Amino acid sequence: MKTLTKALRPWTLDFHVAQNDGSVFGSGSHDKTGRHCQATDPNGKLDIVHDAGYWLRDENGKLTKAFKHICWDGCMFPNEVMNRQQTWNDILATMIKVREAHGWQA
């Protein structure tokens, strides 16, 4: 993860936080990267808060604030999921944890 983020961080303008279940479905533009799943999905393979730090901090652990935009990547979910209040409660709680863990304040 350190090697990947070091190489891609300079080219990344927007950071889309997401959870991934590690499966490969093969049905679209994300066909080799696995499927996104909800923030609290027990099958999620990422430690979202910890792993976000690889993107938000440089190789020395210093917060870069290089991104212009940080958001939750919910593009892979059906409207039914996105219309549930609990979905947004979980997303907001996760994003707040990312912010708090990495000192991101406006």
pLDDT at 5: 87
Could you report the per-residue pLDDT of 59-90, keeping only the tens digit for each? 899 988 888 778 877 666 788 888 999 999 99
**pTM of the entire structure?**
0.78
Residue 36 has pLDDT above 90, yes or no: no
Amino acid at 25: F
Domain-located, residue 96: yes
Domain-located, residue 68: yes
Domain-located, residue 38: no
Give the residue among 92, 97, 22 at the shortest CA–CA distance from 56.
97
Domain that holds residue 68: 2-19+48-101
Domain-located, residue 27: no
Segments of 1-104 assigned E as strands: 14-17, 19-20, 36-37, 69-72
Domain-located, residue 52: yes
The residue assigned the tokens 């409207």 is 79
Domain-located, residue 93: yes
Beta bridge partners of 80: none
Token pair of 42, please? 């027990």
Q: N- to C-terminal Cα distance for the chain?
A: 26
Residue 50 has pLDDT above 60, yes or no: yes
Domain-located, residue 77: yes
Token pair of 1, please? 């993860």
